[in-house]
Structure 1
Amino acid sequence: MLEDCGLKSSTSKLTIKEANPRYKDCFDSQVIGSNPKQGTVVKIGSTVCLRYIPDEVIIESQKIFDELQRNKKESKERTRENLSVVAKRTKQSVTKIFKRNNKEKIIGEDMPNE
């Protein structure tokens, strides 16, 4: 297609090291970047470098995304459990305080006024 417009093309594929969760929904050989950027006016005969994503990078990107989602879910569960423990301890402390105050009131009522 570029050749039809009088341009030369050069291709470069992403490597596994460049896998990123943002590529998880790409399709095989999808162009993800170009140099010069898309929409730039260039002279006829110029070379345009196209970066594309191979299937193995897409698969690795999906694995990274899944791992991030799993970690996020586990973190939320730990936070929820910690909050539950804190709420339970707080409730127990408040209950002890009220029981202590009630005992003091009862003891105070039993004592005659002088």
Structure 2
Amino acid sequence: MTHVRRAAGWIRSRLTEPLRIKEIADAAHMSAASLHRHFKSATGMSPMQFQKRLRLYEARRLLVAGHSTASAAADAVGHTSATQFNREYRRAFGTSPGRDAARLRRVSEPADSP
């Protein structure tokens, strides 16, 4: 489990960078095959899926905070294609980035806001 934690931390710390399995495996002191097997067993997803999920949640956080457009959020988390980002976001959260952020901002507003 320590190796998987180390690998997950490595991915988190390099969230915007392209994912290279060999580098993650080296950082976790594992072979690439062992990394995949143990990572999937511990998290239910591959290292690539884990990175994708982290990127989507970070982009969502940026959008809800109101500091970013969907395109800027995609770029900020390392997506090279805004179209692909929108497709993945919709698949993960069930709606477009803009609609999701607007809905989440409304939900988090205090009830007595003007």
TM-score w.r.t. structure 2 length? 0.28
More helix by share: 2
| TM-score (normalised: structure 1) | 0.28
